[in-house]
Structure 1
Amino acid sequence: MVTNDDGIDAPGLQALVRVLVSTNRYRVWVCAPDSEKSAVSHSITWRHALSAKQTEISGATAFAVSGTPADCTSLGISKALFSSVPDLVLSGINMGSNCGYHIVYSGTVAGAREAFFYGLPSVSISYDWVGGTSSINDFTLAAEACLPIISAILVEIKNKTYPQKCFLNVDLPTNVLNHKGYKLTKQGNSIIKMGWKQVSSDAAQGGHMLSTMTMEPNSVASNPDAKGVSQEHLLFRREVKGGQVEDGETDYCSLKEGYITVTPLGALTDFFFSLVITSLISMLRHC
């Protein structure tokens, strides 16, 4: 089952589903938000009902849901929407990397984490999109680069040897066609330092976060004087103030070196990481 946080019509999800269907190996279900839900983290809908509308995606059974990524995963694995529980949940492919502390904000990661909460194998997948460099076709390349690890995971699931106490966060580098291979990494502490700027009403929408360390602003610039804004309704927009990047073999650093990073997440400690690393390394060697 595939979900995401960019919305069911997003090119990353569409490419992932298309590549999965083209293998003729999988029955693919899609349960994804009906609109963009980026950076909603693990929020869920509690006080009102969700709507689910069947949507046409060639080769798959797909529903657009009026909820968050965590909602979509929860509904999709519940057997209320589909006839059975999926073997594997994939969340992505996100437009922008999800590394370091930004994993906490990510709706993409939450889509996989929700499945993990219910004991299902899951993977969140993100592509390090860079405006002016990346193209829509890169999502197809990213999906194709993920096929070996998806196949390896399903073999481990069939053999009942897949680690049960983690889920995986996969990030693909900008130059995915020339990636350096898979690399098992730890979550680092990279983060964008954010601030706030008062804006006028026509600039209040702000920009779109594309990756762990970059923002792509809208074409409408903010008004530094915030003229025309009522004092009763002051408007503020986030803006990038800088960044924090760690050194070493962490997810962000390895991604920027050109690797496809594979990071186990969950209720992890350094001790637990040492227990699962051998199994994961063995799996990656077969990719």
Structure 2
Amino acid sequence: MANEMDCKATIADKRPAVLVTNDDGIDAPGLRFLVAQLVAARYVVLVSAPDKDYSAVSHGITWRRAMKAKPVEIEGAIAFAISGTPADCASLGVSGKLFDGLVPDLVISGINNGDNCGYHIVYSGTVAGAREAFFCGVPSLAISHHWVGSKSTVDDLKLTAEACMPLINAVLYEVKNKSFPEGCFLNVNVPTDVSHVKGFKITKQGKFLMRSGWEQTTVDMPTLESYQTANISTANTSSSEGSAPLAENEILFERVRTTIKNHEVEDGETDIEALMDGYISVTPLGALSCNLETLPELKTWLEQRLASSL
């Protein structure tokens, strides 16, 4: 397998090994910026990411077919593009099979361009990548940026990677000392204005949900890169060129945004509230929801490790 010598060399390396995956695809700038930061921090960096955009696939996995793993050149990292979902990529990446026996110390899924707060974590392929690592017993983070089409630029994803490094370093410190909580993984959401974040805040999963509906259409919407189209309306801008013609009696429907369900203010400690207030929201999640038992422990840890990092 390509990169075999590199993989063998890293097994003897005593530096922490970090696996990066995502749902936007291996070419997405959020992933590339994150990898660059990890390489600069001198971690062993592994990449197992989808070969195309798998946004909003939730925790889907590949079951009835084999997956392809293609070596990809990313400076400072050992990387493979996988013909599978984010959960597939995380599972294969921590299995010891892809990187010739090397199992990462930490898995990071992201950086996604678009937040993953509240009920939206159910849809998220980004969160699923981290959740799958958690299922496999490997500490993990999901990182997302609150992309706003009229304000955000690709450079904000680079700033997000930089802003999250204190948290990543702190988590790896806890992992090394075997003190990172085993009952959760972390869902991290970074505000739109990354340059002026107020700090990190441990939060609960809220109930935020952007509702959508359906409308009949005559245009077959193409698959577009999510980092190019996040929060941008594509109505009446797409072409049906290259799409298969409709068969008799077939009807096309497209998903459209309808209303935004406002988050329910309970105690001011939900993920979306912290995000809107300018904080980097750090939410401990279990298999299906927020792990409330870990909140007091993580709050103390955050205050001790990260209070002076920003």
Instruction: Evaluate the alpha carbon distance shift between residue 45 and residue 230 of structure 1 in structure 2; reply closer, same or farther with a 3 A threshold.
Output: closer
How far 1:283 moved relative to its partner?
2.5
Compute the displacement of 1:166 (Å): 0.5
**Could you say what secondary structure the match of 2:231 adopts?**
strand
Matched letter for residue 53 of structure 2: E
Q: CA deviation at 1:268?
A: 7.0
Distance 1:145 1:57 in 2: 22
Matched, 1:258 2:278: yes
Does the residue aligned with 2:130 lie in a helix, a strand or coil? Answer: helix
Does the C-alpha gap of structure 1 residues 55 and 268 become closer, same or farther in structure 2, counting only changes over 3 Å? closer
SS of residue paired to 2:72? strand
Partner of 2:141: 123
1:41 to 58, 67, 72: 58
3-state SS of 1:186 partner = coil
Alignment correspondent of 1:278: 296
Q: Is the 8 A contact 2:222 2:238 kept in 1?
A: no
Structure-2 change in CA distance of 1:178 and 1:52 (3 Å): same
Unaligned runs of 5+ in 2: 1-18, 240-244
Residue 151 of structure 1 aligns with an amino acid whose one-letter code is N
Matched, 1:217 2:237: no
1:245 corresponds to which letter in structure 2? N
**Matched position secondary structure for 1:183:** strand
> Residue in 2 aligned with 1:234?
251
Query: Structure 1's 45 and 277: CA in aligned 2 closer, same or farther, altered over 3 A?
Result: same
Residue 192 of structure 2 aligns with which residue? 174
- Structure 1's unaligned 5+ residue stretches are none
Structure 1 residues 269 and 111, CA gap change in structure 2 (3 angstroms) = closer
Residue number in structure 2 paired with 1:73: 90
- 1:142-157 equivalent positions in 2, closer than 5 A: 142-157=160-175
Q: Could you tell me whether the CA contact under 8 Å between 2:106 and 2:139 is conserved in 1?
A: yes
* SS at 2:168 equivalent: helix
Tell me, in whole angstroms, the C-alpha distance in 1 between the residues paired with 2:161 and 2:32: 10
Q: Percent identity?
A: 53
How many Å separate the matches in 1 of 2:205 and 2:283? 6
Conserved 8 A contact 2:23-2:86: yes
The amino acid of 2:174's aligned partner reads E
Q: RMSD of the alignment, in Å?
A: 2.1
CA offsets 1:88-124 (integer angstroms, 9 cap, x no match): 0000000100001000000000000001001110000
The letter for the 1-side match of 2:286 is G
Following the alignment from structure 1 to structure 2, what is the Cα–Cα distance between the partners of residues 203 and 215? 19
Q: Give a deviation string over 1:126-168, Cα, whole Å, max 9, x none.
A: 0011112111111111011111111111111111111001000
Q: Residue 137 of structure 1 is aligned with which of 140, 143, 155?
A: 155
Q: 1:114 aligns with which of 112, 132, 135?
A: 132
TM-score of the two chains, using structure 1 as the length reference = 0.91
Q: 1:139 to 1:222 in 2, by over 3 A?
A: closer
Given candidates 103, 106, 117, the residue that maps to 1:85 is 103
- Alpha-carbon distance between aligned partners in 1 of 2:225 and 2:161, rounded to the nearest angstrom: 22
Partner of 1:187: 205
